[in-house]
Amino acid sequence: MKKANIFIAGILLLGALSACNPLGEFKSYPFARFETSAIDIEKEDEVKIPVVAYDAEGKTGTVTFKVTNVDGEAANYKVEPASGVLNFNGNETQNIVVKVVNHEKTKFTIELTSATGDFTIGGGRNFTVNMLKYFPVTWDYIEGVFNAQDFDNGKEDGTAYQVAFKKVDDTHVQLINLWGGGTVLDGTIKFDQEANTAEMAFDAQQVVFDATAYGYGPLILIGSGPDGWDFVPAKAVASIKGITIGPWNLLITEGQYKNYLYGTSYTTECSK
């Protein structure tokens, strides 16, 4: 009898709770958002940044955006529509258009700030535009002094220094002062005008740094091959973002640590 009373009391309590908290019907609202969060503009003169509407079949509304300059001159670009308003009619995509005026390094953000009509703003409301200074990757760009920073297995290693690249002939280049050692490394170079890049390869076993005074002997350059570190060239790629060397490493040739690698895995980022 006691169990029956408990059961009946439970049913009555559940009914009371249901009366106080009726189940509501979920109502979805049309919303608009950026599909991605950032873009790098390299040599393009115009890019379209899509803003996409969802759950908006048969609905209309507007979305307002705001442009905020972060770094560089705002005069280097134009953003359209100049009104800062996008008009939506159903599930469609509207584009914010960025037109490059000057190919100079500039950073700005676009924020979807408000909506009218049936629309709201979704989660992807912020977008970052990084305009990169455009350098045609030719000898005029390659030759000269670059600021360099080494990274060992992805972590910044040591202080920044400077390197130089020098033309030998149309297919050969010299890298001067890698690792701050002042040495000259010989390599080959091949330009890809369509991709606006150049590929380099610096021969293995060249001395990068003479560490005899530290008990290591000369440290020689080696590269990464299909099976790991090997006596293969250390590769580099030049683009308008800069020159990336690596992965490369140094092999200890003398002393108690002979045949050990100095470091884990180096890359060097070079920028003007």
pTM: 0.68
- DSSP for residue 24: P
147: pLDDT confidence band, cut at 50, 70 and 90?
A: very high
Residue 120 vs residue 168, higher pLDDT: 168
Burial degree of 115 (CB within 10 A; 0-12, 13-18, 19+): buried
CB 135 within 8 A of CB 271: no
Mean pLDDT lowest among 3-12, 33-42, 92-101, 200-209: 3-12
Residue linked to tokens 């169990």: 3
Q: What is the pLDDT of residues 8-62, one digit of tens each?
A: 444 444 444 445 555 555 456 788 899 999 999 988 999 999 999 888 788 888 9
Contact 47, 97 (CB under 8 A): yes
Q: What is the pLDDT of residue 24?
A: 52
Cα gap 266→263, rounded to integer Å? 7
Assess whether pLDDT exceeds 80 at residue 174: yes
Position with higher pLDDT, 81 vs 8: 81
Provide mean pLDDT across the span 234-259. Answer: 93
φ, ψ of residue 117 to 5 degrees: the values are 70, -135
User: Is residue 95 within 8 Å of residue 50, measured between CB atoms?
Assistant: yes
- With 60 as the cut, is the pLDDT of residue 175 above it? yes
Q: What is the chain's alpha carbon radius of gyration, rounded to the nearest angstrom?
A: 30
107-125 pLDDT tens trace: 999 999 999 988 889 889 9
Q: Which domains does the chain have, with CATH numbers?
A: 31-131 (2.60.40.2030), 139-271 (2.40.128)
CA distance 11 to 143: 84
